[in-house]
Amino acid sequence: MQLDFADKHKVFIQKIQFSDAVNGIKTNILRLDNIHPIISGNKFFKLQLHLAKALQDGYNTIATFGGAFSNHIVASACACKEIGIESIGIIRGEEPESKSETLIAAADYGMKLIYVSREDFKNKDSIKNKFKDENYYWINEGGYSVLGAEGTKDICSWIDESYTDIVCAIGTGTMMAGLVAGSMQHQRVIGISVLKGATTLKRDMEVLLPPSDLQKNYEVIDGYHFGGYAKHPKELIDWMNLFYEQNNVPTDIVYTAKLCYAVKDLLLKGYFNHNSKIMLIHSGGLQGNLSLKPKTLLFN
């Protein structure tokens, strides 16, 4: 099935420069954020096989889970509208008095939002059970799934054999699993965790991989969360503005700004071999910046 609302021709590779350049190492970024203004970056790839399956199997509704600022929620809402299927978002926490831009947008795309308490949200099976008589196609929170990982394998079609390292941000690890599966034997995939103390992340990622891929070269790196998931101290905002000035690449506060910072820091620490050629994955997420005060960023 063709999901022709996303335009793969809009994806491009851009050379990037870090202020303290390290000799002999080339750094490029894959601008997946450009594939669609809302179903941006990795969310299109994670959803694509689910959307195709839901349509093929005759479901009339896709239901999924997420927080009030979830890129996955807004991408799912918009994608469902594009393919002409209903959508339901189970949202963590009570209905807020003033809604986030993410939830406003999701509702605009026709997603029905159902709020559940933080406590109840933990038990996904019991939530699903309440709707067991409905014809819903369920997608996990954040799109975490084998099918999601398979869909992100496509990202590797832009990464030729000249690259030695592929670096991405990780939330659930779904995209990273796809990149590991799609990478070549001589390449290393590095995942930058944006979560604090997520000790099971590597394992969660590995669960999505076919066993034959477990011998590939991959690594999860911690310590670049800037205080925790979605935390964005001034130091991070300053970095985003500097990176934009230097490279004309907008990044998001939750994932890609931390990814780019991590690569810069790892370069300075001598983590990469000389003559490395690194591909950073711009996995999108720019809509998340709408939660900032206007003019915080030079772009936006």
Nearest to 145 by CA among 72, 212, 214: 72
Closest separation in Å from C-beta 5 to ligand PLP:
18
> CA dist 110 to 104, 122, 248, Å?
10, 25, 33
Q: What is the Cα–Cα distance from 130 to 282, expressed in whole angstroms?
A: 37
Find out whether 82 and 39 touch, Cβ atoms under 8 Å. Answer: yes
When CB distances to ligand PLP are compared, the closest residue is: 285
CA dihedral angle for residue 253, residue 256, residue 257, residue 259, rounded to 10 degrees: 130
Find out whether 221 and 193 touch, Cβ atoms under 8 Å. Answer: yes
Q: What is the Cα–Cα distance from 79 to 6, expressed in whole angstroms?
A: 9
Using CB under 6 A as the binding rule, whether residue 284 contacts ligand PLP is answered as yes
Single out the segment in contact with ligand PLP by CB under 6 A; choices: 51-59, 128-136, 174-182, 223-231: 174-182
Nearest to 274 by CA among 21, 19, 14, 18: 21
What is 222-260 written as a DSSP string? -S-STTSTT---HHHHHHHHHHHHHH-----TTTHHHHH
Closest separation in Å from C-beta 33 to ligand PLP:
8
Single out the segment in contact with ligand PLP by CB under 6 A; choices: 77-85, 132-140, 159-167, 251-259: 251-259
Closest separation in Å from C-beta 74 to ligand PLP:
10
Residues 179-218 as x/- pattern, contact with ligand PLP by CB under 6 A: ----------------------------------------
Using CB under 6 A as the binding rule, whether residue 256 contacts ligand PLP is answered as yes
Residues 111-150 as x/- pattern, contact with ligand PLP by CB under 6 A: -------------------------------x--------
Using CB under 6 A as the binding rule, whether residue 252 contacts ligand PLP is answered as yes
Among 170, 181, 263, 267, binds ligand PLP (CB under 6 A): 170
Closest separation in Å from C-beta 242 to ligand PLP:
19
C-alpha dihedral sign at 60, 9, 180, 2:
positive
Please give the residues from 56 up to 75 whose contact with ligand PLP meets the rule CB under 6 A: 71-72
Q: Closer CB to ligand PLP, residue 53 or residue 130? A: 53
Closest separation in Å from C-beta 68 to ligand PLP:
14
Q: How far is CA 226 from the centre of its chain?
A: 17
Using CB under 6 A as the binding rule, whether residue 285 contacts ligand PLP is answered as yes
Nearest to 167 by CA among 15, 31, 279, 283: 279
Which residues contribute to the site for ligand PLP (CB under 6 A)? Answer: 41-43, 46, 71-72, 142, 169-176, 252, 255-256, 283-285
